[in-house]
Amino acid sequence: MWKRREIIMFNLFLGDVRKVRLFTLFLAVVGLYLVVGCAGTQSTEKPDFVTVTYKTIKTMSELYNMSMGTLGDLYREGKISEADKAKAIKYGERFRKAKDLAVEALISYTKTEGQSGFVLVQTALDEAIRLYGELARYIQPMLTKGEL
Amino acid sequence: MSAELIVTVIGLILKYGVPTAIQIYQTWAGGVGDPEKPTIDELEKLKTMTPPAESFFEE
């Protein structure tokens, strides 16, 4: 056993490319298995779903507040036009409404914990995430233009 | 929270998507709030956490 191990180590040390690649592949497969296994375990537990959804909404809300606050500062400094301001408000409000729907759905789900509520929360959250992405894509050039 | 960080976070969002960027941000910020399951009151607070977009542009 020891002899075999020495041989493997020797081969690795000498740079046996095939064995190194096999070893790397083995590590990657084990790593992937662990990641998928852990993700599966977490997603089936209801408390984790509520907590993760809550934290996601809270984080998005904080990012929204920071982003819009910065845009407001840039607007007052004259670095953002009225047209850009109007569009930022439009995208911001779209996100805010979607986020409010996700919060309502999450509150209902927390009270009832029904399967339909679970799907509703996921759908509402996906929409809020999509709209935050849309808002981020729109305001990013403005934030950069503002020479922060 | 600096403005540069917001640009960085938005850059992450554009590159990796919102969920991944949020995970990165949460890791950086050491998590947002308690890891415990939120109460109904805490969930209710989420409703008032985001002021209307127009209010950010008031003089």
A61 touches chain B (CB under 8 A): yes
pLDDT in tens, chain B (59 residues): 566 677 777 777 777 788 887 777 777 766 555 567 889 999 999 999 999 999 999 87
* Structural tokens at position A35: 């990641």
H/E element, A82: helix A82-112
Q: What share of chain A is helix, strand, coil (3-state, %, to 5)?
A: 90, 0, 10
- Closest partner CB to A55 (pick from B33, B44, B49): B33
B-chain residues near A64 (CB < 8 A):
50
CA neighbor of A12 nearest in space, from A2, A22, A1: A22
Nearest chain B residue to A109 by CA: give it.
B40
Chain B residues within 8 A of A72 when measuring between CB atoms:
56-58
Average pLDDT for runs of 10 along chain A of length 148:
56 52 48 46 57 89 90 90 92 95 93 83 92 87 67
Distance from C-alpha of A26 to C-alpha of A104, rounded to nearest angstrom: 45
Strands, DSSP E only, in A1-148? Answer: none
Q: Read off the pTM.
A: 0.68
Say whether residue B10 is in contact with chain A using an 8 A CB cutoff: yes
Does the beta-carbon distance from A96 to B50 stay under 8 Å?
A: yes
Neighbours of A128 (CB within 10 A): 27
ipTM of the complex: 0.73
